[in-house]
Amino acid sequence: MSAPIMPLTRARWALTDTATLTGRALAHWARQPGPVLVALLFPVLLVLMFGYLLGGAMAVPGGGNYREFLLPGLFTMTMLFGVEATYTAVATDAARGVTDRFRTLPMARSAVVAGRAVADLLHSLLALAVMLGCGALVGWQWHLGAGRALAAVGLLVLLRTAMIVAGVYLALLLRSPESVAALQILVWPLSFASNAFVAPDTMPGWLGAVAAWNPLSATAAACRELFGNPGWDGGSLPAEHAVALAVAWPLLIVAVLGPLAVRRWQRLDR
C-alpha cells in the first residue's frame, strides 16, 4: 500500500505543474507573436483615436484635461478586453481535446487552469505597462504619489483576475472557440455603457444609471480618484464609494463564477 502524499508535497507539485503550463502558454506566444502584439497595440490605437481624434469634443465634468480623464477608463477597458484571450485559449484547448489529455496525466488538475490564468495575468501586466507608458507620452500622469498609484494598479489587476475567472468559466461552459464573437458582442456594450469615455450624468437617465453601476465604471472612477485625475463627481452612491465598489465587484464575480468554473471543470468528462 502506497504512503499518502503529504499536503505540502501536493502543493509543491501543483506549483511546479502550474509553472510548466504557464511556460507552455508563453512559448506559444513566442512562436506566434502576432496576436499578442495586436492585443498590446489596440488599446494604444484607442488612446490616439479618442484622445486626439474625438477628444476635442469631449467635456470633463468640473473641467480638466480630457486625456487625464480618459486614460484610467482605457486602463480599465484593457483589463476587460483580456477576457477574450482567456476564453479563446481555454475553449481551443477544450475543443481540441488538449484539456482532456492533460486531465489523464499524473499532474495537478488545478494546474491546467491555473497555468493559463498566470500566463494571462502576466500578459495583462505587460499590456498595462504599455498603456501606462503610452499615457505618459500623451501627457497623462498621476498626482497623488506612488502609493496611491500602486493601489490603482492593484485594482486594475483585481479586475483582470475577475475577468480571467469569467473567461475560464464561459470557455468551459461553451467549449467553442468560434463563439468568441458572441462574447465580443457583450464586451463592447459593457465597455461603452460605462464612465470610461464620458460621465454617466451626460447620458439619458436609464442609461446613466446602468453606466453608474457598471463594474468597469467603479474601477475607472476609483483609478481616477487614486491617480488624482479629473473624474465624475455625480454625488451618487457609486461615485462616492468608487474604491469600495472597485474591490467589491471583482470579488463578487470571483465568488459567483469561481465555484461554477470549478464545478464545470470537474464535469468536463461527462
Grid coordinates representing 101?
Answer: 489529455
Binned at pLDDT 50, 70 and 90, residue 39 comes out as: confident
Q: What is the pLDDT of residues 103-118, one digit of tens each?
A: 777 777 677 778 888 8
Q: What is the pLDDT of residues 197-254, one digit of tens each?
A: 888 888 888 888 899 899 999 999 999 999 999 887 667 788 888 999 999 999 999 9
Q: Please compute the mean of the pLDDT values over residues 32-43 and round it to a whole number.
A: 81
Q: What percent of the chain has pLDDT over 90?
A: 20
pTM of the model: 0.87
Q: Amino acid identity, residue 168? A: V
The string of DSSP codes covering 37-91 is HHHHHHHHHHHHIIIIISGGG---TTS--HHHHHHHHHHHHHHHHHHHHHHHHHH
Cα-based angle 223, 228, 230 (whole degrees, multiple of 5): 85
Q: What is the DSSP letter of 4?
A: P
Binned at pLDDT 50, 70 and 90, residue 2 comes out as: very low
Q: What percent of the chain has pLDDT over 70?
A: 92
pLDDT of residue 5: 55
Q: What is the pLDDT of residues 116-132, one digit of tens each?
A: 888 888 988 998 999 99
Q: Please compute the mean of the pLDDT values over residues 38-62 and round it to a whole number.
A: 76
Residue 125 vs residues 117, 122, 262: alpha-carbon distances, Å? 12, 5, 25
Q: Please compute the mean of the pLDDT values over residues 169-197 and round it to a whole number.
A: 82
Binned at pLDDT 50, 70 and 90, residue 55 comes out as: low
3-state secondary structure of 238: helix
Average pLDDT value for the chain: 84
